[in-house]
Structure 1
Amino acid sequence: MITGTHAIVYAQDPERARAFFRDVLDFPHVDAGGGWLIFKLPPAEIAAHPADGPGRHELYLMCDDIDATVAELTAKGVEFTGGIAEARWGRLTELRIPGGGTLGLYEPRHPKATDLPA
């Protein structure tokens, strides 16, 4: 039986990326040994979208109020790559992971699977 999801963020500077998840996003974590931190994520959901050609995967953090979340994270020094875009299914932006690329952030306008009972 599936018990969870393990997502991987590849970073050129994994120490900076780990510090970001630990100190800025305040994700609880365990040390798997030698400072190799594994972070607990908020509840998750997965969707399958159509693709032209080979499939690809994306990772987004979700929030209830993107304006408040962006303001809170900006106050903590988080850099965003652009403004907040409006889509039929939600409002989204992208934040920079220090040493590790970008990560999507969105406020869904659709029913959330994370609201389903366990």
Structure 2
Amino acid sequence: MTASTRYASVRYLVDDVGTAVDFYTTHLGFTLHTSAAPAFADVVRGPLRLLLSGPTSSGARATPTDAAVAGRNRIHLMVDDLDAEIDRLHRSGVSFRSELVTGPGGRQILLTDPAGNLIELFQPAHRPTTDATTTP
């Protein structure tokens, strides 16, 4: 298997490629990488390449009908200030699919793209660093 060292890619099936590109670039800090709309586009944020496959794309056509529904899997986007992101997205009209959840690893909230694909915004809990030069 040949491995790419540039991006880790995830494919989302979307109803409308243009609408999906607008959502990810406007609200979540992605940039457009390539576009063959209306069938396909991909957007990039850091090392994540998100493949947006419309109904006529080969990726969507290769998916069995019973597997083409949105599931519990989601992309996981780390943010520095979750409260500020929630506020900004609320002001932009983005709705959320969950309440804010706090756990031992940090805080998270779920939203969906226009096609219903889940996105998790996550702010890690502050963890004290260990100084290797000190001894107990």
Percent same amino acid among aligned pairs?
Answer: 26
**Aligned pair partner of 2:108 in 67, 76, 92:** 92
Match of 2:25 in 1: 22
- 1:33 has 2:49 as partner: no
Identify unmatched segments of 5+ residues in structure 2. Answer: 49-71, 128-136
- 1:76 has 2:79 as partner: no
Identify unmatched segments of 5+ residues in structure 1. Answer: 45-55, 112-118
What SS does the aligned partner of 2:13 have? coil
Asked which structure has the greater RCO (Cα within 8 Å, sep 6+), the reply is 1
Structure 1 runs, 4 residues or longer, greater than 4 Å off: none
Larger Rg over CA atoms:
2
Contact between 1:16 and 1:99, CA under 8 Å: does it hold in 2?
A: no
Number of aligned residue pairs: 100
- 1:104 has 2:107 as partner: no
Which structure features the higher share of strand residues? 2
Change (3 A) 1:77 1:57: closer
Cα deviation, residue 43, structure 1:
4.4
Relative to the length of structure 2, the TM-score reads 0.61
Residues in 2 aligned to 1:57 and 1:110: alpha-carbon distance in whole angstroms: 25
Change (3 A) 1:27 1:86: same
The RMSD of aligned alpha carbons is 2.4
Contact between 1:12 and 1:100, CA under 8 Å: does it hold in 2?
A: no
